[in-house]
Chains A and B, each alone.
Chain A
Amino acid sequence: MKKFYYVVFVLMVSLLLTGFSCDKYAKAGQLAKDFAATVLVAQQLEIQAYNGGYIQPASHTAIQTKFSQLADAGVSLDQAINQAHNAQTAQDQINAATALLTDLSKNEITGIKDDKTRLGIQAALVSVQTILDSIAAFK
């Protein structure tokens, strides 16, 4: 379980490293990449916890369904950033991703009975939301 916290630590420091690009398009792209990478880490945490027996099959299925939907929303966000060469016209895509993250944090994740597992995944999702907020603020 300590690995969970190491991953969370890396995620938080990664947040501090975002914003090194001066170019607005590169900056938006970098945030989009960080967003995707952090979701991937959260998904891997969940899969590991499920394989370790910490998550019930029903919760696992519901959570992975959300990750799949989040991947679709992420691709749409990337397309919006690519078309405008910034994040100014991506508000709809940001809202869609935020709604999925909120659902994951407030509904699906609460179905995990193991406290440490739930906390670890929740912390990863907070990091994901923080990056998404950065994209929303970077306009």
Chain B
Amino acid sequence: MNADEILKLLALIAAAEPAVLGYIKALLESSQGMTGDQFLSEADGVWAQIKANAQQQLQAAPASSAAQS
């Protein structure tokens, strides 16, 4: 990422919608008081979702693109 791209990104961040702040607040609150086991359990759930998404995308991909990769 070059300097122009970073400046462009910062300008967009400065103009971000207030709704984004609400999401961040919810994110913070949802993590309060959780144990290491709970965090890791959630992480494993997310990894399972990522794996399932990838499998779904790879199965749906055209055969020609799979051959190229």
Give chain A's interface residues, CB within 8 Å of chain B. Answer: 2, 5-6, 8-10, 12-14, 17, 20-21, 23, 25-30, 32-33, 35-37, 39-40, 43-44, 47, 50, 56-58, 60-62, 64-65, 67-68, 70-72, 74-75, 78, 81-82, 85, 119, 122-123, 126
Contact = CB atoms under 8 A, between A and B. Distances in A.
B61 interface: yes
Contacts, number: 147
Interface string B32-60: 10111111101110111111011101100
Given A5-B13, A6-B20, A17-B28, 16 more contacts: A5-B9, A17-B24, A17-B31, A25-B35, A29-B38, A30-B39, A32-B39, A33-B40, A36-B46, A37-B46, A40-B46, A60-B61, A64-B54, A74-B47, A75-B44, A119-B1
The interface residues of chain A, by DSSP majority, are classed as: helix
Interface residues of B, number: 42
Contact of A23 (B28, B36, B44, B53): B36
A58 B46 contact: no
Contacts of B36: 23, 25-29, 81-82, 85
The secondary structure that dominates the B interface is helix
A93 to B, nearest CB: 12
